């Protein structure tokens, strides 16, 4: 009889364990019932951008409705990366990463090209001038803000509250991710080369700062793979001593080397960057043809609007527009 009761109690306990009903308070049970769980979806690296010709290149991925709204309030200085940055909030309580220096114009514009091709980017805006309230005890950013917090020529990058950015150690590699060999990944590589983004560091380079990232959306469960730093764009690709950012003369000069030809069905590019072979090699003509269905529809008017919104001078607008159109025409010639 004892053994029967023991066995009975044993199986009852197992049932409680299986159903998650081990003894707990009523309040704990209520909390467990109301807590929402998020099921993360299969990761994606690209989405259809829709009517490319109608996209707003002035405001980019964030649109006019999410543009930075003064006054700006200082939160803290961000010591990551190679350029001076601070974190602020705006009049609508949105969080922003504010950057100064040589990457500002390039990053704002290059994200518009990537976004128009269907790739995920962090919304970025160029702010010609403004004031940050309460910016004190600054280090690297000190020279970009006056004593009253006023500034000029800044990039504002929107930090969405409902997004979790995984740690750099959990970022991805160009050669190791769920999309290896796909037209979507190869299309992103082409965008890197189209904009001359030589700063193609990935998870291999955590010690220096990975420029690839994985974003998890807390409510929907969406998982996005993206490039988070486009500051090394719109200049000259090349080695450490020869590459440049936001340099239209160098960008235009290298355009003739952008595509060198086709060999065994693969497009040969002249690109050189942080991870040259990982970006440049293995791009098929079919990958280029697929991408041209989107990026090939970008108009000169959109390019010009995006450049002006990125702080480009009239001379730079004309120079970059001409060089980009030449690169896009080279791509078109390959797939025709």
Residue 134 counted as domain residue: yes
The tens digit of pLDDT for each residue in 116-165 reads 999 999 999 999 999 999 999 999 999 999 999 999 999 999 999 899 99
The tens digit of pLDDT for each residue in 187-230 reads 999 999 999 999 999 999 998 999 999 999 999 999 999 999 99
The tens digit of pLDDT for each residue in 121-131 reads 999 999 999 99
Residue 302 counted as domain residue: yes
Q: What is the distance between the alpha carbons of residues 126 and 299, in angstroms, rounded to a whole number?
A: 21
Asked if residue 1 has pLDDT above 80, the reply is no
Asked if residue 94 has pLDDT above 70, the reply is yes
Q: What is the pLDDT of residue 329?
A: 98
Instruction: Write the CA distances from 282 to 117, 227, 264, integer angstroms.
Output: 20, 19, 10
Higher model confidence: residue 42 or residue 4?
42
Burial of 252 (0-12, 13-18, 19+ CB in 10 A): middle
Instruction: Return all residues near 294 (Cβ < 8 A) that are at least 6 apart.
Output: 49, 52, 116, 117, 118
Rounded to an integer, the average pLDDT of 18-35 is 41
Residues of the domain holding 170: 52-335
Residue 3 counted as domain residue: no
Indicate yes or no: pTM above 0.85.
yes
Look up tokens 């023991």; give the residue: 6
Q: What is the pLDDT of residue 36?
A: 61
Q: What is the DSSP letter of 37?
A: -
Look up tokens 């190869």; give the residue: 186
Residue 259 counted as domain residue: yes
Residue 61 counted as domain residue: yes
Q: What is the pLDDT of residue 14?
A: 39
Q: Nearest to residue 233, comparing CAs of 196, 200, 274, 202?
A: 196
Rounded to an integer, the average pLDDT of 176-191 is 98
Higher model confidence: residue 26 or residue 62?
62
Percent of the chain surpassing pLDDT 90:
84
Dihedral sign (CA 226, 229, 233, 239): negative
The tens digit of pLDDT for each residue in 30-67 reads 444 445 678 999 999 999 999 999 999 999 999 999 99
Q: Nearest to residue 322, comparing CAs of 334, 312, 311?
A: 312
Higher model confidence: residue 326 or residue 17?
326
Asked if residue 28 has pLDDT above 70, the reply is no
Asked if residue 95 has pLDDT above 80, the reply is yes
Work out the number of other CB atoms within 10 angstroms of the CB of residue 44: 15
The tens digit of pLDDT for each residue in 300-321 reads 999 999 999 999 999 999 999 9
At 81, the pLDDT band (50, 70, 90 cuts) reads confident
Instruction: Return all residues near 263 (Cβ < 8 A) that are at least 6 apart.
Output: none
Asked if residue 17 has pLDDT above 80, the reply is no
Q: What is the pLDDT of residue 32?
A: 44
Asked if residue 29 has pLDDT above 60, the reply is no
Q: How many domains does the chain have?
A: 1
At 273, the pLDDT band (50, 70, 90 cuts) reads very high
Phi, psi at 39, each rounded to 5°? -100, 115
Q: What is the DSSP letter of 69?
A: -
Residue 197 counted as domain residue: yes
Asked if residue 181 has pLDDT above 70, the reply is yes
Q: What is the pLDDT of residue 38?
A: 82
Give me the chain's average pLDDT, please: 90
Residue 41 counted as domain residue: no
Residue 124 counted as domain residue: yes
Percent of the chain surpassing pLDDT 70:
89
Dihedral sign (CA 243, 248, 249, 251): positive
């Amino acid at each position: 009889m004892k053994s029967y009761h023991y066995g009975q109690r044993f199986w009852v306990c197992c049932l409680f364990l299986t159903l998650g009903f081990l003894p707990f308070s009523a309040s704990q049970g209520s909390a467990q019932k109301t807590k929402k769980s998020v099921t993360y979806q299969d990761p994606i690296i690209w989405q259809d951008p829709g009517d490319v010709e109608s996209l707003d290149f002035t405001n980019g991925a964030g649109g006019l409705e999410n543009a930075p709204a003064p006054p700006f309030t200082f939160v803290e200085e961000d010591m990551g990366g190679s350029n001076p940055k601070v974190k602020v909030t705006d009049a609508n309580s949105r969080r922003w990463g504010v950057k100064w220096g040589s990457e500002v114009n390039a990053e704002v514009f290059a994200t518009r090209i990537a976004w128009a091709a269907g790739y995920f980017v962090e919304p970025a805006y160029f702010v010609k001038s403004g004031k940050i309230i309460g910016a004190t005890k600054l280090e690297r950013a000190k020279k970009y803000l006056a004593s009253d917090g006023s500034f000029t020529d800044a990039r504002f990058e929107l930090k969405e509250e409902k997004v979790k950015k995984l740690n750099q150690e959990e970022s991805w590699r160009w050669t190791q991710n769920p999309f290896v060999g796909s037209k979507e990944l190869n299309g992103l590589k082409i965008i890197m080369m189209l904009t001359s983004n030589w700063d193609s560091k990935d998870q291999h380079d955590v010690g220096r700062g990975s420029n690839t990232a994985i974003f998890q959306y807390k409510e929907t469960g969406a998982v996005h793979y993206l490039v988070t730093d486009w500051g090394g764009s719109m200049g000259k690709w090349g080695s450490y001593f020869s590459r440049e950012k936001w340099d239209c003369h160098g960008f235009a000069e290298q355009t003739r080397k952008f595509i060198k030809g086709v060999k065994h069905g693969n497009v040969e590019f002249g690109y050189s960057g942080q991870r040259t072979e990982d970006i440049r090699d293995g791009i098929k003509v079919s990958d280029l043809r697929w991408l041209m269905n989107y990026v090939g529809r970008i108009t000169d008017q959109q390019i010009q609007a995006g450049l002006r919104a990125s702080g480009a001078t009239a001379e730079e607008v004309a120079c970059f527009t001409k060089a980009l159109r030449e690169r896009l025409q080279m791509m078109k010639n390959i797939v025709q």
